[in-house]
Amino acid sequence: MLAISGINLAAFFATYLGDYDWVPAAVLFASWETLYMVFLSTAVSYLVGMPLAIILVTSEKGHILENLQLNQVLGSIVNAVRSLPFIILLILAIPFTRWVVGTSIGTVASIVPLSLAAIPFVARLVETSLKEIDWGLIEAALSMGASNWQIITKVLLPEAMPSVVLGVAITAINLVGYSAMAGVLGGGGLGTLAYYHGYMRYQTGIMWITVIVLIVIVQGIQMLGDKAAGRIINKRR
């Protein structure tokens, strides 16, 4: 898909932008950086956010691992991080980012604040998906003598899968927007391109190109998500 949009963009530049022949390569590279950041931070946020969501759900009153204190503490932390505006989180996280990757500038460094912002979001999103599961299914598994681990892996996660997959698309799309914001602080990707060329140097054409590419990326992610969830749902019909 990248290659195809690259070819089309090249033709566009040749016709309308004359000697801006560095632009297609720059846009392509920035797109790649954006996708790279979004993909990795989505992965990291699910790696941490999913277990968080499972703990949030199962530690609730009456659930299989009821622990109200833990539930409240976790819930408060999640809420606190979620209430931070991303741009603030981006700055606050700089020392932590330096500690983890050694620098606070660039694509790899951006993954840290992006993941930090997405983890609590993912935790709530997956929590909602898990709560949609009828308690009767958990009760049935309990009545068969299932362990808590078996209930999580054989009932909760498989039953919630279509809804979780749709959540992945929502998260990734949110992260596309956040990654552009990170780009303003030197995070790389389409955000950096749009800010330094489109905004600082008044190269409005480049701004619009990045907007169009972003739209395409967002559409693409949503389509993939819908398709993947639809596939699971259709299989079960």
Partner 1 sequence: MIEISNLTKIYGSGPQEVMALKEVSLSIRKGEIFGIIGLSGAGKSTLIRCINMLERPTQGTIMVDGQDVGSLNSLELRQLRQKIGMIFQHFNLLSSRTVFENVMFPLEIAAVPKNEAAQKVNALLELVGLTDKAQVYPEQLSGGQKQRVGIARALANDPKVLLSDEATSALDPQTTRSILGLLKDINRQLGLTIVLITHDMNVIKDACDRVAVIDDSTIVEVGDVLNIFSNPGTPTSRSFINSIVNREIPAEILQRQFIDHGLNSSRLIRVSFIGASAGEPIISSMVQKYAVAANILYGNIDQLKDIPFGNLTLELIGPVETINEALDFLRKCGLEIEVLNHAGN
The CB-of-59 to partner 1 minimum distance in angstroms stands at 17
69/234 with CB nearer partner 1: 234
Annotate each residue in 157-176 with x if it binds partner 1 (CB under 8 A) or - if it does not, as one string.
-xx-x---------------
142 is an interface residue for partner 1 by CB under 8 A = yes
Q: Report CA-CA distances (Å) from 187 to 75, 125, 147.
A: 30, 26, 45
The CB-of-166 to partner 1 minimum distance in angstroms stands at 15
C-alpha torsion 98→168→157→131, nearest 10: 100
The CB-of-53 to partner 1 minimum distance in angstroms stands at 18
Site for partner 1 in 96-135 (CB under 8 A): 134
Tell me which of 7, 68, 77, 140 binds partner 1, using CB under 8 A. 140
68 is an interface residue for partner 1 by CB under 8 A = no
Whether the CB-CB separation of 192 and 105 falls below 8 Å is answered with no
146 is an interface residue for partner 1 by CB under 8 A = yes
The CB-of-155 to partner 1 minimum distance in angstroms stands at 7
Amino acid at 136: G
The CB-of-23 to partner 1 minimum distance in angstroms stands at 47
Tell me which of 3, 4, 144, 200 binds partner 1, using CB under 8 A. 144
143 is an interface residue for partner 1 by CB under 8 A = yes
User: What is the rounded distance in angstroms from the CA atom of residue 207 to the CA atom of residue 209?
Assistant: 5
212/228 with CB nearer partner 1: 228
231 is an interface residue for partner 1 by CB under 8 A = no
Tell me which of 139, 199, 208, 219 binds partner 1, using CB under 8 A. 139
The CB-of-159 to partner 1 minimum distance in angstroms stands at 5
Tell me which of 155, 181, 193, 217 binds partner 1, using CB under 8 A. 155
Give the residues lining the site for partner 1 (CB under 8 A): 134, 136-137, 139-147, 150, 154-155, 158-159, 161, 235-237
